[in-house]
């Protein structure tokens, strides 16, 4: 049909998701390709109880329209956590609740980007951010990521050129690489942001999932009014609640409210009320420790198996938290070929290419360790080795 779509739709990157869903739906396939948190670790009992109380005690309010900024007690809870855990001077006025932190990517792009504007980001970078930003037709300025943060010289050059409206980074346990910024990289990025007047958009979807439980210093601590933090309850409570937040200076929040209101009036209010009830009647720290300890065990197992089974053929990252390991393939093996050979052996991995805005990632794969049990990780790695040998 001759439908005439807006020009921006032509900027959407080619999606790999269709292929992925096709393999993820097959129960015989062990999948390390997705990015789901563990279903077993979702506290369904606690959330059921919180839901019951909310609906019984103030169901009609919880099911009514609400305000764009989000449920104040929930925003106060988040602001307090920033003050206590990170020593940031956050107030509820600087926090907005969103329908999952994915919404921040869309709304921040909407308020900051005109077509052609620069956006700095890590290479490799979060696929969902590339997809969200692309629709606003930016000029991407990728900065190579090292094991300790974005290449400092490259970052400095990118920020000093002053062509980027913001730099988007994931300092903690990055998706897809699993790497984290060193303390020096955080300081460098934050001070550069301030000095050059470039916003540092810090996506902290995984920050709470540190295996050692230690809170890492946010880049915002150095970037101050040039720092925005995006947070999410998806990995620490439940992604289906679709509840995340933005923490930003008030001038940015004012524009954000306009964009948010036109997008959806407000975030799911029932979810916000349930979440607040759950958070104030549960020991969140204890729950997060439990989740992180299971992920740590899975990560160590997967990492050890990569080292043992592949004997140095795969060079991998050593995450200190989060849900992903990134592995570089030896010369001559293409990630897409390995993906296809893997599906034949009933194991799915994510090839590296979709995580790059320019050509890249043909020699790398992302492996998710949060949504498989230990037996699946062990068996999956054996299958992956068979697939790998077929590609040689
Ligand atoms: C880095 C990163 N940011 C944002 C998101 C979006 O998460 P949500 O919308 O569930 O908060 C994800 C999801 O996996 C992610 O990996």
> pLDDT tens, 248-264?
999 999 999 999 999 99
Ligand 1 pocket residue status of 66, Cβ below 6 Å: no
Chain centroid, CA 15 distance in Å? 18
Cα distances (Å, whole numbers) of residue 380 to 252, 288, 316, 339: 45, 26, 16, 13
CA 180/CA 31 separation, integer angstroms: 24
Query: For residue 143, what pLDDT band results from cuts at 50, 70 and 90?
Result: very high
Q: How confident is the model at residue 215 (pLDDT cuts 50, 70, 90)?
A: very high
If you count DSSP H runs as helices and E runs as strands, how many of each does the chain have, helices first?
13, 14
CA of 173 to the centre of ligand 1 (A): 12
How far, in Å, from the CA of 256 to the mean position of ligand 1?
A: 19
Q: pLDDT digits over 356-391, tens only?
A: 999 999 999 999 999 999 999 999 999 999 999 999
Q: What is the pLDDT of residues 269-310, one digit of tens each?
A: 999 999 999 999 999 999 999 999 999 999 999 999 999 999
Q: Phi, psi at residue 305, to the nearest 5°?
A: -65, -40
Give the Å distance between the CA of 314 and the centre of ligand 1.
27
Is the pLDDT at 18 greater than 80, yes or no?
A: no
- Measure the CA angle with vertex 281, ends 275 and 287; round to 5°: 80
- Give per-residue pLDDT as tens, 305-344: 999 999 999 999 999 999 999 999 999 999 999 999 999 9
Asked if the model's pLDDT at residue 195 lies above 90, the reply is yes
pLDDT of residue 97: 98
Whether 1 has a pLDDT exceeding 90, the answer reads no
Q: Is the pLDDT of residue 204 over 90?
A: yes
Is 335 in contact with 362 (CB distance < 8 Å)? yes
Q: Tell how far the Cα of 244 is from the centroid of ligand 1, in angstroms.
A: 9
Give mean pLDDT, residues 149-171: 96
CB of residue 244 inside a 6 A radius of ligand 1: yes
Tell whether the model's pLDDT for residue 23 goes beyond 90: no
| Ligand 1 touching residue 101 (CB < 6 A) | yes
Ligand 1 centroid–CA 233 distance in Å is: 10
Continuous H helices in the chain = 17-24, 44-62, 72-86, 102-112, 127-134, 152-160, 183-196, 220-223, 250-264, 269-281, 284-310, 335-344, 374-391
End-to-end CA distance of the chain: 44
Closest residue (by CA) to atom 15 of ligand 1? 205
Separation CA 248–CA 371 (nearest Å): 32
Query: Which own/partner pairs from 134-138 qualify as long-range (CB within 8 Å, at least 24 positions apart)?
Result: 134/11, 134/12, 134/13, 135/8, 135/9, 135/11, 135/12, 135/106, 135/109, 136/8, 136/109, 136/110, 137/7, 137/8, 137/11, 137/113, 138/109, 138/113, 138/165
Q: What is the pLDDT of residue 73?
A: 98
Query: Could you tell me the distance, in angstroms and rounded to a whole number, from the CA of residue 126 to the centre of ligand 1?
Result: 9
Whether the upstream peptide bond of residue 176 has omega within 30° of 0, thus cis, is yes
Q: Model confidence over 41-58: pLDDT tens digits? A: 999 999 999 999 999 999
Count CB neighbours of 280 within 10 A. Answer: 12
Residue nearest to atom 16 of ligand 1 (CA): 175
How confident is the model at residue 14, as a pLDDT? 78
Which residue among 181, 205, 206 is best mutated to probe the pocket of ligand 1, counting the most ligand atoms within 8 A of its Cβ?
A: 205
Q: Which of 212, 184, 203 is nearest to 130 (CA)?
A: 203
Rg of the chain over CA atoms, in angstroms? Answer: 21
**Is the pLDDT at 226 greater than 90, yes or no?**
yes
Ligand 1, atom 3, lies closest to the CA of 205
Nearest atom in ligand 1 to 99's CA = 9
What share of the chain in percent tops pLDDT 70? Answer: 99
Ligand 1 pocket residue status of 234, Cβ below 6 Å = yes
pLDDT of residue 25: 77
Strands (E), 157-254: 164-169, 199-203, 227-232, 244-247
Residue nearest to atom 6 of ligand 1 (CA): 102
Question: What letter would DSSP give residue 14?
Answer: P
Give Cα 225 distance to the centre of its chain: 22
Residue 206 Cα: closest atom of ligand 1: 1
- Residue 198 in tokens: 């470039």
231 lines ligand 1 (CB under 6 A): no
314-343 exposure pattern, b = at least 16 Cβ within 10 A, e = fewer: bebbebbbbbbbbbebeeebebebbbebbb
Residue-wise pLDDT tens digits, 53-111: 999 999 999 999 999 999 999 999 999 999 999 999 999 999 999 999 999 999 999 99
Atom of ligand 1 minimally distant from the CA of 101: 11
**Considering the chain, what is the average pLDDT of its residues?**
96
């Amino acid at each position: 049909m001759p439908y005439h779509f807006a020009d921006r739709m032509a900027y959407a990157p080619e999606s790999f998701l269709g292929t992925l869903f096709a393999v993820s739906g097959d129960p015989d396939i062990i999948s390390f390709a997705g990015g789901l948190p563990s279903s077993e670790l979702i506290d369904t009992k606690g959330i059921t109880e919180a839901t019951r109380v909310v609906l019984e005690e103030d169901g009609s309010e919880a099911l009514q329209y609400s305000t764009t900024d989000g449920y104040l007690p929930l925003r106060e809870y988040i602001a307090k956590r920033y003050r206590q855990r990170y020593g940031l001077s956050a107030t509820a006025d600087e926090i907005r609740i969103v329908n999952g932190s994915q919404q921040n990517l869309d709304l921040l792009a909407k308020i900051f980007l005109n077509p052609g504007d620069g956006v700095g980001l890590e290479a490799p970078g979060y696929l969902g951010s590339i997809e969200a930003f692309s629709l606003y037709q930016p000029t991407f300025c990728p900065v190579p990521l090292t094991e300790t943060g974005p290449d400092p010289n490259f970052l400095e050059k990118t920020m000093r050129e002053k062509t980027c409206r913001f730099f988007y980074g994931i300092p903690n346990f990055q998706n897809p690489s699993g790497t984290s910024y060193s303390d020096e990289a955080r300081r460098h990025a934050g001070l550069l942001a301030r000095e050059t007047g470039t916003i540092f958009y810090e996506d902290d979807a995984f920050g709470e999932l540190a295996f050692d439980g230690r809170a890492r210093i946010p880049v915002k601590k150095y970037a101050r009014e040039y720092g925005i933090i995006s947070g999410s309850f998806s990995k620490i409570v439940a992604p289906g609640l679709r509840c995340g937040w933005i923490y930003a200076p008030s001038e940015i929040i004012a524009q954000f409210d306009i964009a948010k209101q036109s997008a959806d009036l407000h975030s799911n209010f029932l979810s916000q009320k349930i979440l607040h009830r759950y958070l104030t009647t549960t020991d969140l720290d204890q729950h997060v420790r439990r989740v992180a300890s299971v992920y740590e065990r899975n990560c160590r197992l997967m990492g050890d198996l990569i080292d043992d089974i592949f004997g140095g053929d795969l060079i991998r990252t050593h995450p200190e938290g989060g849900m992903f390991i990134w592995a570089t393939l030896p010369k001559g093996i293409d990630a897409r070929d390995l993906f296809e050979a893997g599906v034949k052996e009933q194991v799915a991995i994510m090839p590296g290419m979709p995580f790059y805005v320019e050509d890249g990632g043909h020699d790398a794969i992302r492996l998710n360790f949060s949504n498989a049990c230990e037996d699946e990780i062990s068996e999956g790695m054996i299958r992956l080795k068979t697939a790998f040998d077929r590609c040689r």
